[in-house]
Amino acid sequence: MADVPVAVVTGAGQGIGRATAAVLIEEGYRVVLADRNQDRLDAAAGPLGERAVPMLADVGDEDAVAGLAERVGSELGRWDVLVNNAGALRFGGVEETTLDDWQQVFSGCVTTAWLCMRAAVPQMRAAGGGRIVNFASVVVQGADSNRLIAYTAAKAAVVGLTTSAARELGPAGITVNAVSPGAVDTGAFDKFPDPDALRARRASTSVLGRLAEPEEIGRTVAYLVSPAAAFVTGQVLLVDGGRTDKM
């Protein structure tokens, strides 16, 4: 399979990450599903067939990311696409957020993306190009972010990372974009109080009257890494169903 393009999706054990991995496999990629939970990783990769390659890695750890990059290069021989989906969420406003909360969220959302980008770029440069997609959030555009001060700030940092990296890496043929999802119907809702009421409230803010399905976000990623988006870089693509609670 040396001629089959390789994508790495972080946080691929569940939710949007797993759905994105499934879509990219349908699109003809071999996909490395990277996750720090072995049971979750096995459950996600198993049904996806032989083109799914599970790799256990905590992408917030510098040594683990270096090990992941070495395995991708040695076992698969190429690294064409990086999807930085891994993230972290802690609740709290300005006054109640602790320093640990802040650092954990920035590590989970921003440091992971930078570490994986730094690891992927040498292989992409050597191949003459590549595609990187980061995950921002509709909260950066002003959607309801009550008690999500660290998460909102971290996702804004991801936008800055995206635009800066796009400018730096463009001459190497590497595009860098971000997807900014609105409300997506995943298990993440269960981390909130009264998740069913929150689902209904978020669905009501979309002009389409529903939440996004994880696969729909995965297909947006598939567009950004496709030849159709070869001239698209440094962009943040908002996928929110026309969400109406933005400022």
Q: What are the residue numbers of the active site?
A: 151
Q: How far is CA 19 from CA 13, 47, 81, 178, 218, in A?
A: 9, 12, 16, 17, 6
Q: From CA 103, how far away is CA 114, in angstroms rounded?
A: 15
Question: Distances from the Cα of 63 to the Cαs of 66, 132, 226, in angstroms?
Answer: 5, 21, 30
Per-residue burial over 51-84, b if 16 or more Cβ lie within 10 Å, else e, is: bbbbbbbbbbbeebbeebbeebbeebebbbbbbb
Three-class SS state of 56: strand
Task: Please compute Rg for the chain using Cα positions.
Answer: 17
